[in-house]
Structure 1
């Protein structure tokens, strides 16, 4: 069980919650902060003070005072009107992450929400009740208003939930558990939707999948190196120490570990003097992508533990401040950076695929790895497909964060588009996973034309993993099914 307190949630813990079914609980000290913050809100309502989001309208309506008898209706109206998302639903793993992250942010104790609402969010995580949330509709500032409103619709029994891919009415789910839907009170609707948890949730899933891919790209490129009689000298630690980038040295070290004991790798001058960049520069290229991943992880872990709603209640100082922590610019930049870093893993992988299938570049391998050249095309169109995916990535890698469209009658006149960036990053990761799966599929066949018995022991284990998923290219067949199986194998 993982205890949430609003301040110490990590990516590693999110992996356990999202992919291993780890349950969560609320830390007792966080509970006390939440209770104190709620008392502050109730005091404001009781004293009839005018405070944004508690007894005023929202956005351009912030100057409209709401009477005490209507503050509950204000919150319900907010959720109903803002639940305006469109398009395909977020995967369940993303909505699960969204629920965890919103709960964790509210546990910081600056939001004025009732503790029982947070208990319901924890129940949703532990019982795998995942809100049905459309992916499109967020500007990434004033929070992820549309996606998070769909999450809150689930709480109040008006939305839908996903359970193992099936869409169910939230009210029916609450009836099954014999609990009432939540009735929102002062500030609670705003507290629940004013945050960056849609982009951050998608960002966390992106990071976890991209990290797995980055590690996989090393053993996959190792299979290609063996297939092409790669030169091991380029991975010598001295080469990378003098450059000074830790990530580059780390990749080189892992690559040396992968091809330790290989009889297929060569030395300078044994077959050729130097390899092309897509082989020789694996530590430099992949290492740079690891720099991106490290940056993204740092920013995500900060945001995962941040108070991102508005206004914020500082009980010790007896003040409520209307600020802008909901603005998603830090995560927008991180997601755009992630798009570039992951795209490059696909770019260089596609270049290695070309060397595996092109007889002018493959050091004696059959053209397109075809068992019957001319009669059969072999891996010819696999390289086409990889090129198509890489090209699509280049379009998706255009930064979303450089765009902004004013909203709410120009009150919200600059937005981050961070959720768009996070969604596009996920598409790039999916494309890159297929490109790397194509490389793995081709390299596994190519290395068989050398001598499997001469492979490095660790790489031979990986070759065997692939062979348990997909057979080699012995005759033409529908190869995309094999590639998809390998791609699935590369998922967390």
Structure 2
């Protein structure tokens, strides 16, 4: 069981949580939760009017709510905001979303009681994940609808996925011996104000992008060998003269991947002067993409343990300040930059596929198949890659520069962070498909250079590809093999043993 301290969260911890490692808050963090709850109790007892504790919400903030209706206020808040649509969020996103909510509450500025934290933790301990519709948040005033669906499940409303089935939340809670949560003052608002859905969904895309980047480097190196391309553009001295950290890192990885290739050695003094940009500019393009992923990761690590609800409580003296920490603009920018990075990874991979299947460019059989004409080889997989690149371009327009007023104009500028995160997830899946096709093309090109062998680092990659997609000697249906490689990339099966993000 991993003990979590919101003061010491890093990307490695978040990656572990995303992968499903059990975790809970440390005792020190829980102490801070108790202190904030006591602050709310004192504010209520003192009769002061404080937004979200004893007032309405949004445009109704001027409405004072009497003490005997505060529980009703919080209950109605959750039920009225549980209005999402769309496909359920992936389980990994929901699990991480709950962990992030716990981390935010544990900073001790939200005012929930320990019982609320315990209820959230119980969902994780039992792997009982609320069904969270993925549409309905614009990423300002918090991820209201997704977080409301989470909170509603704690109260016995909505549905929960448990042990492979989806059933009414009340039935699952009863089966697990859990009592439906009754919310106290401020607790409903504390649970639904926050960027936890946007942040979890964007981290989901980031960790996929990290795996895809690793696979793209492996596939790119395999393609260089298949082309009998030059490794000289990856010389450390070139990248050091420019100084961009991503470029330096990518060039080093490509050098290591190609080291010891008999194919590279075989054309040491060939007449080819320059390879196409998609091959020799990999350090420059993929390195820039890697730098974008680093920037996004830095933002998301900060956001993961941030206090993003409203109002925010302070003690000594007791004070509640209504601000805008729930606005997810930093997350929206991070998600959009992940999409940009992924788009370039996919675009470059498709160009390398195109070069390999073109006999004029590669010197290999047309479409990497013998008996061309009767056989079409990898003609249409390259078209599929091109289609995915085109679809990615349609998703590349940043959601973060858009806004639409909500709540009768009270929330007049929103971040669109969840929309940006969803686009990043879709593009990630597309790019995994493109890189999977490149792995097939690269492996096929390597086959044509036998008995010359690829490098010791790439030989196992070639073998893994061939275990999923055997050598193409004659036309056959490739869709299933392409989908399997896409899934293997997203599962981390072709990432390599190099660490791309800290």
Question: 1:188-232: CA deviations, max 9, x gaps?
Answer: 110000000111001111111101111111111111011000111
User: What is the rounded CA distance, in whole Å, between the counterparts of 1:142 and 1:254 in structure 2?
Assistant: 43
How many correspondences in the alignment? 490
Alignment of 1:41-120 (within 5 A): 41-120=40-119
| Other-structure match for 1:441 | 440
Question: 1:136-173: CA deviations, max 9, x gaps?
Answer: 11010000001111111111010211235531211111
Alignment of 1:294-333 (within 5 A): 294-333=294-333
The answer to whether residue 306 in structure 2 is matched with residue 287 in structure 1 is no
Contact 1:11/1:204 (CA < 8 Å) preserved in 2? no
Alpha-carbon distance, 1:491 to partner: 1.8
Alignment of 1:190-201 (within 5 A): 190-201=189-200
User: What is the rounded CA distance, in whole Å, between the counterparts of 2:164 and 2:379 in structure 1?
Assistant: 36
User: What is the rounded CA distance, in whole Å, between the counterparts of 1:157 and 1:9 in structure 2?
Assistant: 31
User: What is the rounded CA distance, in whole Å, between the counterparts of 2:83 and 2:11 in structure 1?
Assistant: 30
1:409 aligned counterpart, secondary structure? helix
User: What is the rounded CA distance, in whole Å, between the counterparts of 1:441 and 1:165 in structure 2?
Assistant: 34
| Other-structure match for 1:123 | 122
Contact 1:452/1:460 (CA < 8 Å) preserved in 2? no
1:454 aligned counterpart, secondary structure? coil
Alpha-carbon distance, 1:391 to partner: 0.5
User: What is the rounded CA distance, in whole Å, between the counterparts of 1:115 and 1:22 in structure 2?
Assistant: 23
Contact 2:105/2:112 (CA < 8 Å) preserved in 1? yes
CA 1:230–1:163: 2 relative to 1, 3 Å: farther
User: What is the rounded CA distance, in whole Å, between the counterparts of 1:304 and 1:273 in structure 2?
Assistant: 48
1:66 aligned counterpart, secondary structure? coil
2:327 aligned counterpart, secondary structure? coil
User: What is the rounded CA distance, in whole Å, between the counterparts of 1:426 and 1:193 in structure 2?
Assistant: 23
Contact 1:233/1:268 (CA < 8 Å) preserved in 2? no
Question: 1:329-388: CA deviations, max 9, x gaps?
Answer: 11111111111111000000000000111111112x111112321011111110110000
User: What is the rounded CA distance, in whole Å, between the counterparts of 1:13 and 1:135 in structure 2?
Assistant: 25
Question: 1:406-444: CA deviations, max 9, x gaps?
Answer: 111111110000110011010010000000000001111
Please, what is the CA RMSD of the aligned residues?
Answer: 1.2
Contact 1:309/1:325 (CA < 8 Å) preserved in 2? yes
Contact 2:219/2:435 (CA < 8 Å) preserved in 1? yes
CA 1:268–1:450: 2 relative to 1, 3 Å: closer
TM-score relative to the length of structure 1: 0.97
Unaligned runs of 5+ in 1: none
Alpha-carbon distance, 1:69 to partner: 0.6
Contact 2:263/2:452 (CA < 8 Å) preserved in 1? no
User: What is the rounded CA distance, in whole Å, between the counterparts of 1:400 and 1:438 in structure 2?
Assistant: 29
User: What is the rounded CA distance, in whole Å, between the counterparts of 2:274 and 2:202 in structure 1?
Assistant: 39
| Other-structure match for 1:451 | 450
Alpha-carbon distance, 1:268 to partner: 6.9
